Structure 1
Amino acid sequence: MGYNEATMSAQKRLPTYVLLAERIKAEWISRPDVRPGDKLPTQHQLRQLLGASRPTVAKALALLAAEGLVESRQGSGVYLRSSPLESTRTRLLSFIAPQSHAALVLRAYYGIERHARRKGYALLMASSENDVRHEEELVEQHLQAGAQGIILYPVTRWRHQLQDDYLLRRWRDVPIVILDIGYEEWERPMVLFDNFRLGYQMTRALLEHGHRRIAFLPLHPDCLHRSIHERREGWLAAMHDWGIPVPESYLRWAPLARDEEPDGEAMAHQVLQLSPLPDAVMTWEDSVAVRLIRALQKMGVAVPGEIRVVGFDDLEATHFFQPTFPTSQPDFARLGEMAVEVLDDWLSGRQRTPRTYVLSVPVLWREPRPLRRPHPKEGGCEDEA
């Protein structure tokens, strides 16, 4: 492949706003006749001249501002920066996550963006849509766009994917901080939650509330969702420490894959086939707990009277769900702040050895609220002749 073909191929992989920023550089910033303080065309003019949408032009100008090339003056327009920022190429970070609209991702983004802004960084964000190949493409695109470091909330890997993962062989000299789910094989800095301890404490809370037949919803062993597997290990450790034997059926029931929406009725059927019948089930997360509770109730099982169901993550969507159930309170905003701190240490040269940073997670024990029954009016009678 020739140079021009390679260049065109690389350009096709770049986001539109990055290509637009390069055009603005070429036509209005890099010309020999321009001077610091010169005014750029208005956003409306740029849209007409470049044939681009308003959001694309705005993102291109934001990228140029992050690189220290332009500055916006309120009510006046965009100008070439009079005094370029020092070390402008180190002031842009990237955050890539599986789904940008997911509740936990938004919590992490809040912490990342807030802390990055405090430290003088601008932030790019993109969604990999749970596709490892697209995740790799986004890492490449953001680095080409000028990001000097990346916070990666990775797509959950399957065992066969991890053997030839791009993070094992590409960008070994680029600081990529892994958020929430990571693997030691990558040899990257990671900021994670202490899910083993969380699984242990949730099991202990169930035991303290009188439960003994506690089951853990099985996940396919080749689905390497580290958080879930570590909570399961914590469950087993707590049961062992309390001297509660785990029935063989609780260890051998058919595992489920997390890449599909779990079928609540199928899960409920599996639970009801266990022997002995569990009096508590720990699920992977709140959304799965809701599906299982609804299915059990549909089959006539009292929740939590006969079987208590536990979730994790304290999702806002479940706050008004009845019956309420125990969950956890992971501070994803704080985890995001920690990721920025680690990345800043790498970029400043204060850290060069990959380390794993762990944040604890408290259990949030919730009991169903009693139904409110209307009371007869004071001085009245419910039955009048």
Structure 2
Amino acid sequence: MNEGCGENSCALGCGFMESVIHCDIKEYYGKHLQSSEDLKTNACKTSARPLLATIQNAFKNIHPEVVSRYYGCGMVIPECLEGCRVLDLGCGAGRDCFLLSQLVGEEGHVTGIDMTEEQIAVAQKYVDYHTEKFGFKRPNVNFLQGYIETLQEVGLQECSYDVIISNCVINLSPDKKAVLKEAYRVLKDGGEMYFSDVYVNKRLPKNLRDHKILLGECLGGALWWLDLIQLAQEVGFCTPRLVSSSLISINNKELESLIEGYQFVSATFRLFRIPNNIKRSRYQVIYNGSITDKEDCLDFDASFKFKEGEVVEVDGELATILKCSRFVNEFMYCPMIDEKASVVHCRSTPEAVNLNPFDLAKQLEVKSSKSPIGGCCGQRESGCC
């Protein structure tokens, strides 16, 4: 990690030394950006696409000021959240936290952490407003000012969360491995990190990584997507599972000239923390259709779409993920005693699980151009059944 900027160490008194990048990002998001309209590119804007009815209704309850301070690049709303403890890394003004607080319900809880004082102040300002708006007796969301590289410094304990989300924030960190390592630490066994971020098709040179505007616009800190795969596995996660991807067009001539030759995507991955001592065996699974808004089909990732009642063969890692996570009761399981055996009408595991977000984005662009509604599910970013 870089040296601190000037004499600035962590304002929270935790002993963590801010890097120059931290200071630049805090200034950009705390001082320069007052709303999403101040962004100079569309990298940190979620592409418009149809939302499920439950999500649409939840959005209507969020205060306009919170919505206007949103700078995400994806839709980080995983399934099966009721009663869960959720952590939002880089929560900003709290839009996703207030959205998810409705989905986890009064028995669940959402924590948001962000290093930018101005953003946290907006989020905290509207806690009581949203508690009343949602009809809750007490708040089920809280916000902390701190760094996503050092969650222990704000008191977040090991194995304390079911789900972690992050929306276009990890690219802003100068130590992405530390972020993933901390996320792994605070997740429970079977827990998931479900996050959207910006990725680049090859490693960026230092002059682009240090460019203040490119950094603030979520481009300068973008990981080469293959580095994400390696970092995630180094800290202990299962192989990342690519969920969705869309190509980013910069729409800023000055910045386009700087990054000529590089391509960027907004992609969503899911990472699972699974105990290492569990034998991973192939299974035939049947989705029972009990997830709200996903009764007919569960789009688990870009490679696996589970239709209700359909028998699907899954590899040992995915079978272990399903059986050890909050999805355990959403499926019926039958072990593959004979690895070569299958059942009538069984849909088999894909020959190769797609992890390349650029390939997926291009495939979906082609599919979208052939269908006026972007495919059978009407969602351009995600695949469909």
TM-score (normalised: structure 2):
0.26
Task: Name the structure with the higher helix share.
Answer: 1
Is the radius of gyration larger for structure 1 or structure 2?
Answer: 1
Task: Name the structure with the higher strand share.
Answer: 2
TM-score (normalised: structure 1):
0.26
